[in-house]
């Protein structure tokens, strides 16, 4: 490592970048978290070469070693959750509680996949030819490129790195350039686990430079990406040319349906938590609130009352519920969607103001619109903002139709006490995850996660389903 610059990690060594950038907290522009190296194209190529060299040794290192490495990474993340959670909150802007929770969850991903290392079973079959047996087993896919967004700086990396390592792959990891500190901290932990050189590589830098090399490389075997739809399309197009396996998790326009018979208090908690948690910067956020006529007015009034209790402020300050917006670009985007919603005829019934706090950062009061319809741009494009729009509908059927009338399909939720509607919703919602009487955001780490339509592409992430992406199946025929 050079003195004051946090370096890239390539082929088992800390390597200075071609240049560096300052990592500035969006909650306090005077808080410089550090200077972070920026890889160039040549360094990214070097990381890919190193991964190709290191992979076989890691694949053959034995299950016990892989298990121990993953357990140790998970243990350390959990033991250091307060310190690393604070770092995460400073660089991303989410609250300390959210930062600590994310770090803890990241540790759980490593523990889960440590256990998966020891659960690798194949299958056998008799051949149609007498005297011949068949076995199928899973082998590592090889070198995996990992590209992650800024909104879950540690967890997104963790839920990809843990299974990649568990199944014997080598990695080239490119985190979002807005949040290099959490990725660097995770890399530092991984660097102390005695992995074969080249098994794990960190290349920090812009998507157009570092990411571009990764997605166009013929020397990686699989590319897993989480980020925007626009970038996801580029990743899919570039990897398709080289027939590189590709997995995309992208944006969404999730909706929470609230029916007349919902428990109002719970529906309000689901809506407010789902729409504004993480400053609305979650791919699972409920940006559309689809509400039936009979409960509409009571629901809106109760949501506004609940929103009045939300404290916006510096992420590390006690009692704060909503932290800072991630950066100046995101703030501009939030404000332009706010204006657009007004122009399209939405009625701003609460919030939306830019707030001035003690520290110079990007703060915004969460906003609620009513009188919107599903054709408005604000209800069709992902704003990734603390903005929720109420869409009033007649009944369950119209609610479901509205929920499904979108290009996206990550999560969908319903608040109802009717078993009939809940069951019908579960079956007919065109989303990858369905939440009943729960917020659309908030998922577990041991089950599959992903969406439909423009939200996801390729096989599912997380849980046992992750093995589909991180392994290839080999079928062997044996005549004794």
For ligand NAD, the binding residues (CB under 6 A) are: 147-152, 174, 176-177, 207-208, 211-212, 215, 226-228, 231, 234, 249-252, 283, 382, 384, 410, 455
Nearest alpha-carbon partner for 434 in 447, 446, 424, 425: 425
The alpha helices in 96-228, defined as continuous H runs, are 96-117, 155-166, 180-191, 212-216
89 CB burial (10 A radius; 0-12, 13-18, 19+):
buried
Structure tokens at 341: 């919603």
Minimum separation from the CB atom of position 403 to ligand NAD (A)? 17
Minimum separation from the CB atom of position 232 to ligand NAD (A)? 7
Minimum separation from the CB atom of position 208 to ligand NAD (A)? 5
- In terms of CB distance, is 362 or 421 closer to ligand NAD? 362
- In terms of CB distance, is 89 or 267 closer to ligand NAD? 89
CA 350 to chain centre: 28
Minimum separation from the CB atom of position 50 to ligand NAD (A)? 19
CA 170 to chain centre: 21
- In terms of CB distance, is 196 or 432 closer to ligand NAD? 432
249 is catalytic: yes
Whether the CB-CB separation of 461 and 432 falls below 8 Å is answered with no
Phi-psi region of 300 (alpha: psi -120 to 50; beta: other; left: phi over 0): alpha
433 is catalytic: no
Minimum separation from the CB atom of position 328 to ligand NAD (A)? 13
- In terms of CB distance, is 330 or 359 closer to ligand NAD? 330
Minimum separation from the CB atom of position 469 to ligand NAD (A)? 13
Nearest alpha-carbon partner for 136 in 475, 480, 479: 475
Whether the CB-CB separation of 70 and 117 falls below 8 Å is answered with yes
Nearest alpha-carbon partner for 202 in 244, 250, 157, 151: 157
**Choice among 91, 116, 249, 382 that is catalytic:** 249
Q: Which residues contact 49 (CB under 8 A, 6 or more apart)?
A: 219
E strand or H helix at 33, and its extent? strand 32-38
Angle at 88 (CA atoms; ends 235, 207), nearest 5 degrees: 20
CA distance 224 to 212: 14
- In terms of CB distance, is 227 or 315 closer to ligand NAD? 227
Minimum separation from the CB atom of position 60 to ligand NAD (A)? 31
CA distance 202 to 55: 15
Q: Which residues contact 65 (CB under 8 A, 6 or more apart)?
A: none
Whether the CB-CB separation of 232 and 457 falls below 8 Å is answered with yes
Minimum separation from the CB atom of position 122 to ligand NAD (A)? 30
- In terms of CB distance, is 74 or 211 closer to ligand NAD? 211
**Choice among 246, 283, 415, 433 that is catalytic:** 283
Whether the CB-CB separation of 263 and 417 falls below 8 Å is answered with yes
Whether the CB-CB separation of 224 and 141 falls below 8 Å is answered with no
Q: Are strands 32-38 and 19-24 parallel, antiparallel or unpaired?
A: antiparallel
Which positions are annotated as active-site residues? 249, 283
């Amino acid at each position: 490592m050079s003195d004051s610059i946090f370096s890239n990690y390539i082929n088992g060594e800390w390597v200075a970048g071609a240049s560096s950038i300052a990592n500035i907290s969006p909650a306090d522009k005077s808080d410089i978290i550090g200077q972070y190296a920026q890889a160039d194209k040549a360094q990214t190529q070097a990381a890919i070469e190193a991964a190709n060299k290191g992979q076989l040794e890691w694949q053959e290192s034995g299950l016990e070693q892989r298990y121990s490495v993953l357990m140790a990474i998970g243990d350390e993340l959990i033991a250091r959750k307060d310190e690393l959670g604070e770092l995460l909150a400073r660089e991303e802007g989410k609250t300390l509680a959210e930062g600590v929770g994310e770090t803890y969850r990241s540790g759980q991903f490593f523990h889960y996949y440590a256990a998966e290392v020891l659960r690798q079973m194949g299958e056998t079959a008799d051949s149609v030819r007498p005297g011949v047996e068949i076995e199928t087993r899973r082998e590592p896919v090889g070198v995996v490129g990992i590209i992650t967004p800024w909104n879950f700086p540690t967890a997104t990396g963790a839920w990809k790195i843990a299974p990649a390592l568990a199944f014997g792959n080598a990695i080239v990891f490119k985190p979002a350039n807005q949040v290099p500190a959490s990725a660097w901290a995770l890399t530092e932990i991984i660097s102390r686990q005695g992995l074969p050189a080249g098994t794990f590589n960190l290349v920090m830098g812009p998507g157009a430079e570092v990411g571009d090399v990764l997605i166009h490389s013929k020397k990686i075997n699989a590319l897993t990406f989480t980020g925007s739809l626009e970038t996801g399309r580029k990743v899919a197009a570039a990897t398709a040319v080289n027939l590189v396996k590709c997995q995309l998790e992208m944006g969404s326009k999730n909706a929470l349906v609230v029916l007349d018979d919902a428990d109002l208090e719970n529906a309000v908690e689901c809506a407010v938590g789902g729409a504004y948690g993480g400053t609305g910067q979650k791919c699972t956020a409920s940006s559309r609130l689809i509400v039936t006529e009979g409960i509409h007015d009571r629901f809106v009034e109760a949501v506004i009352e609940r929103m009045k209790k939300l404290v916006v402020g510096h992420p590390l300050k006690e009692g704060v519920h909503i932290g800072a917006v991630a950066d100046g670009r995101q703030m501009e985007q939030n404000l332009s969607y706010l204006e657009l919603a007004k122009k399209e005829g939405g009625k701003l019934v609460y919030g939306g103001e830019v707030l001035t706090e003690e520290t110079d950062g990007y703060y915004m009061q969460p906003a609620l619109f009513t009188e919107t319809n599903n054709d408005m741009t604000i209800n069709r494009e992902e704003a990734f903002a603390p903005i929720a729009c109420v869409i009033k509908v007649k009944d369950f059927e119209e609610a479901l139709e509205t929920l499904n009338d979108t290009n996206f399909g990550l999560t969908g939720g319903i608040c109802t006490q009717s078993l009939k509607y809940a069951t019908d919703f579960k079956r007919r919602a065109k989303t990858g995850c369905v939440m009943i009487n729960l917020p659309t955001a908030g998922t577990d780490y041991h089950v599959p996660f992903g969406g439909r339509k423009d939200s996801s592409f390729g096989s599912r992430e997380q849980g046992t389903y992750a093995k589909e992406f991180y392994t290839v199946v080999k079928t062997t025929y044996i005549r004794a």
